[in-house]
Structure 1
Amino acid sequence: MQSRYNRRLFIRQSDFPHEPIQRPDPIRTTYYRLELEAVEGLLAHIDADFVKACELIQASKGRVVVVGMGKSGHIGNKIAATLASTGTPAFFVHPAEASHGDMGMITRDDIILALSNSGSTAEIVTLLPLIKRLGIQLISLTGNPDSPLAKAAEVNLDARVEQEACPLNLAPTSSTTAALVLGDALAIALLEARGFTAEDFAFSHPGGALGRRLLLKVENVMHAGAELPQVARGTLLKDALMEMTRKGLGMTVVLEADGRLAGIFTDGDLRRTLDRNIDLHKALIEDVMTPHGKTARAEMLAAEALKIMEDHKINALVVVDKDDRPVGALNMHDLLRAGVM
C-alpha cells in the first residue's frame, strides 16, 4: 500500500532497481498542483475587501476573535496565533463552546473573524443573530460569497478554490491551505501597517532564540561588582593570576590609577607569555597584558557583544562606562549559557 502511495507522490529507487532515481517535479504532481493553484487563485481576491478587513481590524479597540469548526477551526487557531505574535491581539474561540457560555469572552469592542468554507456551518450561523445584536463587527473568510455567513459580515474574504486536493473532492485540503495563506496575508499586512518591528516581535517571543538575541543586554549577563576580576597597573603577574583563579573568568581587568581601563589579561595572554620565557614571579601585569583591548557597553545588546567577539576572534570583553571605567566583564561561556549563541 505504501508503495502505491509513493508511485503517486514520489518515486523510490526500490520500485525501479535498474533505473536511476528520477526526482519528481512537485508542481506536476496532482496533489501539489491543486494546492498550488488554490494559493495562486488567491491573488485575484486580494482586493478592496481585503483592504477593508485590514482597516476594520486596525481601527478596532478590541481583539480579533477567530472562530471556526473542524479543519477551519484548526486553521483559525493558527491564524489567531500568528495575529497575536505579530502585533494584533487575537485569540480563538470554538463556536460550539461560544453557544454554551464562551460568548462571554467576547466584548463589543472586539471584532470576529469567522472561518467556514461553506459559509453555512451551523455552529457559526447560530451565533450570527447574537453577534449582530451586540453590534460586534464581523469579517468572514469563506469559499462561498453568497453564503449566510458572507452576507452577514461587514466584509467577506473570498477563499474559494476550484477543487480540493482530495481525489474525492471532499476532505478539506486546498481550501484549508487557501484559508491559511489568506490569514497569514492578513496578519502580515497588519504587521506592516502597524510598523511592527523585530524588537516588537521579540517581546512576543521572549522564550525563543530571537527574543534572547533582541532583548538580552550585556548588563543582564555580565559579571560585575565583586565578581569582576581586576588588578591595578604595577601588580605582579603572579598576583594577577591569583585574581584570575579566584574569580574564575579566565581573565582579569587591569586598571589605571584613576580607575580607567589600562588593559586586559586573559588565558590566551598567559600562553603567549609562557612562550616568551618570562619569569612569572617577577613580571608586572602591564608588561604582558593586552593594552586596553576591545570593550562593550552595559546597555548594548548581548548579540552585539557576541559579534565583537566573533569579528575579532576573542573570548572575553571588558564592559566599560562612558568614562572608560570597567563596570563588568563577560566571556563566550556567559553568552552560550544565556542562549545568545
Structure 2
Amino acid sequence: MKAKNAVLTRLRKERYLYLLLLPGLMYFIVYRYIPMAGNVIAFQDFSAFQGFLHSDWVGLKHFKKIFEDQEVIRVIWNTLYLSFLQIVFAFPMSIVLSLMLNELRSERYKRLIQSLVYLPHFLSWVVVVGIVTVFLKSEGIVNKLLYLVFGMDQVSFLTEPGWFMPLIVLEVIWKETGWGTIIFLAALSGVDPSLYEAAIVDGAGRWKQIWHITLPAIRSTIIILLILRLGSVLDVGFEQIFLMLNSLNMEIGNVLDTFVYFKGIEKSDFSFATAVGLFKSLVGFILIISANKLAKKFGEEGVF
C-alpha cells in the first residue's frame, strides 16, 4: 500500500514531465507497436476481401519461399553488400570528422564548421537525390568538367550498374557524417584535459595523443553505435534507394526494402512481402543480440 501511494505521489508530483513524454510514447504505440499485429498475414494467404480473421492459414509457407526464390536471394545479397560498404566506409567517417573537429582550437571556427556539416542531415533524400541527378546526368556539370579537363567521354553515373553502390555510399557520407559527429563530440568533451597535458610532458605528439587518449575515450561509444548499426544491417534505407533505382540498375540496386514495396504494394502479394519484412527484423534482432554479447565478452558495457 505504501509503495502504491509512493508511486501515485511521484506521478502527481512529476505529472508535467510525464505529459511531455506522452506524445513520443503515443507515436511508438500507434505507429510501431499496434501495426505489429498485422505481421500475422505472413502466416496467411491474406486477402483484403476476407480480412485477417478469414484468410487461409498457411503457416511457414511464405518463409520457405524466401529461400527458394532466386530473386530474394539476390536482393538479400545486394542488401548485405550495400550495408557492408556503409559500415566500412560511411560509419568511420563520423569518427574521423569528430577527431578533426576536436583538434580545432578556435571555438568560433569549430562551431562554424559544425553548423556547415550538420546542414545536409536536414535535407530530405528527395532533395539530395535531386542534387546528385542534376550534377551527374549526362549533360551535367560533372560530365562537362570531365570532358573539358580530361577529354573524357560522358560517364553514365546514374544508369551504369557499377556506379550505383558507390553513389549510394557517397550520398550517405555527405548527408549523415556531420550529424553522426554529435555523439562522438559529446563523448570527447568528457575527456580529462590533464591526460593530454601529461602526454605532452612525456613527449607524445598529436598522433600519439589521438591513438592513446582520444580513441580509447570514445571506444565504448563506437562499439555501442556499431552494435546498433549491426541491428539494422538489412535496413539500408528505402527512400534513397527507391529514388536512385531505374530499369538499368534494378538488378544490383534492388534491396529488401524496395523489394517488399514492389511485392507488397505494386503486386499486392501482401503475405510474402510481410514474411520478407519479418525475416529482416528477425535477422536484425539476432545480430544485435550477438554483437552485444560479443562486446561484453571483450569487456565493454554493450547496449543492455
Does TM, normalized by the shorter one, top 0.5? Answer: no
Asked which structure has the greater RCO (Cα within 8 Å, sep 6+), the reply is 2
Q: Which has the higher strand share?
A: 1
Q: TM-score, normalised by structure 2?
A: 0.26
Please give the TM-score of this superposition, normalised by the length of structure 1.
0.24
Indicate the structure with greater helix content: 2
Bigger radius of gyration, 1 or 2?
A: 1
